[in-house]
Structure 1
Amino acid sequence: MEFKVDFVVTWVDGSDPKWIAEKNKYFLNAGNSKKGMNSKKAFREWGTFKYWFRGIQKFAPWVNKVYLVTYHQKPDWININNEKLIIVDHYDFLNHSNLPVFSSNSIEVNLHRIEGLSEHFVCFNDDMYLTSPVTKNDFFDEKGFPKYNTAINPIIPARNGTANFQVNDMEIINSHFTRNEIMKNGKFLNIRQGVRNLIKTGLYSHSKFICGFYENHLPYPLLKSTMQKLWKKEPEVLKNTSKNKFRSKTDVNIWLFKYWQIASGEYSIGNPKLGKLFTLDDADQALWKLVNSRKYKIMCINDGFNIKDENKVMEDFNRALNKLLPEKSEFEK
């Protein structure tokens, strides 16, 4: 089966004074805390985004189009004339009555509305870097089904984490599929899921309901048709998420569509060694060496909450990525 695959990446420059002023008009009035999931950390810009594009050009030259989703912003170095690049403003696909929104959940549950987006696409956060060559087959199988690596796994209720979204996602999944259907469809006991995931499934699969799915925080291969299907089945919860200007405990998130693919069995098992999540709280020379080792095809290098020296981490981070990807991409001026 021949099909095109697009990449979608969401980005914000949290240091932009105009954007900060607009966000602040709504932020405290909405009862938000300066700490937590809507804190400054969630919008921090490390100056590394150009390396995201360099990684795409070097390690995924086969990609059809790259959709950069942003709000009245674009990097000053971006080459808007690149034939593969399409810059999408929130006003281009989100309900205007909800704007502005500053929540990734509100944005991502509507990505299927982007004009021209292919049926098969991969959603990236701007902290998910390609560090070695990837193929279309890393994300989709020959039938066009998304590829995931998963397990039955409890949802961890960490402060400022994603647990509320995951619980809301799983409530919907459990309302549409029985426990037995999920176990039958989910391919959880296949050795290709990896030993760790098999152990997790063995430990947590005996409850009355499925408690949750393992989340590896890597890019999300998705189908537009699945997103459209969920919007027909669960319009109210998705509309409510779309209205929230900031992330809320009542939200669902983009994982809902991934979880639907798993629960329905319309997915294939991915490579458990494709990539890994890292945090800048633990940034040291070992991490920077790993970036250049090409051990993983994808590294999600997430902001931390307890970075001791942000300036040093920023310098080291950029230096490590520049060593891996020193050449300008065609996405840059």
Structure 2
Amino acid sequence: MNVSFPIDFVVTWVNSNDVVWQQKKAKYEIGENESRKNDEIAENRYRDFGLFKYWFRSIEQNASWVHKIYIVTDHQVPDFLNLDNPKIEIIDHSEIIDKQFIPTFDSNTIDWNLFKVPGLSEHFVYFNDDFFINQPVQPEDFFSKDGKARDTVGQSIIMPIEGYDHTLVNNTMKINQLVNKREVLKRGWKQFFSFKQGLPVLLLNVFLSVFPRFTRLYDAHTAYSFIKKDMATAYGILKPELCENFTEKFRTSDDYSIQFVRYYQIVLGHVKTRNMYFGQTANTNQPDTVKRLLFNNRRAKVTNINDKNDAAEEDLAQIVRYFEQRFPFKSKFEVGQ
């Protein structure tokens, strides 16, 4: 039996080349120290260098069964987008985020409010605009027949290297306050100790199970399956902290990320396992790796193109050429098709 319920896709996008948006962002980043400008406010966190249309082409080619696609933006519309396509809907930040918190340039604030998208199905998949479906996928790749979210159910260790890693600590701290780890492992041992997820995940789960508290849960960098009710409940649990964080225009060390919702679904037992290699990442300063993922990797169904500040213009141009080779035909989501 196949999945019998609708599944929507939600993608967040910003046109960093929009002068109005640039002026708005510049107004609020005045006074921010240089370290934050090189991390939380860095250009590569917002840069759009022409790949977004290929996101839609990858959907049409590999996931045409999707019910609806919601594009969440800040008063922006991609110029290539066919708004007459019945599957497409533009959602402005003002439709889901309380007006006292906008404008916002904090991806965490945007992410945490996605469950408020009007008309959103109970089961949805969240994409950053740099996650591309590179192989044919079925609804069962994202949700089980009984409505559970597909995910990699694993433990990990926090190894901080950037400011964003504060959120991993915050997420894990709150999970440890909410649940007893040993009870979670006992109840969900078939998920945590499934060899099908990949040997590295299994070994981490075995090794880290001796610790009395979670040190982190495994964070795959891929598209995430969410149950709207679970996200709303998680939002309610953290609402005082979240609303305080929403007052900040950019990421801060106090933020909780949307990964917390994944953690919450996992400890509730609302997930079914998925292989750790379902999604894989290539950086923009390594175009040859991007090429290998796009053309020679059949195991990874979702490819993440992680933008790096030190990527040269030629690197970015080469990656665009690779995407044009991989997805050369206009989709029905584009004008003129």
Q: Distance in 1 between matches of 2:118 and 2:246?
A: 18
Q: Work out whether residues 138 and 271 of structure 1, in 8 Å CA contact, stay in contact via their aligned partners in 2.
A: no
Decide which of 179, 182, 188 is 2:181's aligned counterpart: 179
Does 2:133 correspond to 1:125? no
User: Paired residues, what number?
Assistant: 329
Aligned amino acid, residue 242 of structure 1? F
Alignment of 1:27-176 (within 5 A): 27-31=29-33, 33-160=36-163, 162-176=164-178
CA contact (8 A) 1:13 1:73 kept: yes
Q: Deviations over 1:179-209 (max 9, x none)?
A: 2122224421111221111111222221221
- My pick for the range that moved more, 107-116 or 24-33, is 24-33
Segments of structure 1 that go 5 or more residues without pairing to the other structure are: none
Deviation at 1:147, TM superposition (A): 0.7
Q: 2:158, 2:169 within 8 Å by CA — same for their partners in 1?
A: yes
Pick the aligned partner of 2:24 from 22, 28, 32.
Answer: 22
Deviation string, structure 1 residues 30-50 (Cα, Å, up to 9, x no partner): 556320122111111110100
**What is the rounded CA distance, in whole Å, between the counterparts of 2:329 and 2:232 in structure 1?**
39
TM-score, length-normalised on structure 1?
0.95
Out of 29-38 and 187-196, give the one that drifted further.
Answer: 29-38
Which deviates further from its counterpart, 292-301 or 143-152? 292-301
Matches within 5 A, 1:246-265: 246-265=250-269
* One-letter amino acid matched to 2:58: G
Return the alpha-carbon distance in structure 2 between the equivalents of residues 216 and 325 of structure 1: 25
Q: Which runs of 5+ in 2 are unaligned?
A: none
* CA positional deviation for 1:155: 1.1
Can you list the C-alpha shifts for 1:62-118, whole angstroms capped at 9, x where unaligned?
000000000011111111111100000001111011110011100000101110000
Matching residue of 1:226: 230
Amino acid of the structure 2 residue aligned with 1:59: N
Report what 1:235 is aligned to: 239
Distance 1:145 1:29, change over 3 A: same
Q: Which moved more, 1:213-222 or 1:193-202?
A: 193-202
Give distance in 2, aligned partners of 1:243 and 1:259: 24
Q: Which residue of 2 aligns with 1:267?
A: 271
Cα contact 1:38–1:246 (8 A) shared by 2: yes
SS in 2 for 1:312: helix
Tell me, in whole angstroms, the C-alpha distance in 2 between the residues paired with 1:294 and 1:154: 27
Helix, strand or coil: the match of 1:29?
Answer: coil
Task: Note the C-alpha offset of 1:293.
Answer: 2.7
User: Root-mean-square deviation (CA), in Å?
Assistant: 1.5
Q: Which residue of 2 aligns with 1:192?
A: 196
SS at match of 2:323: helix
- The reply on whether 1:211 has 2:234 as its aligned counterpart is no
Cα 1:166–1:185 shift into 2, 3 Å? farther
Distance in 1 separating the partners of 2:282 and 2:326 = 17
The alignment status of 1:282 with 2:286, answered yes or no, reads: yes
| AA at the equivalent of 2:56 | F
Alignment match, 2:327: 325
Report Cα offsets for 1:286-330 as digits up to 9, x if no partner. Answer: 4314312352211011012332x2x21122111111111110011
Identity, % of aligned pairs?
33
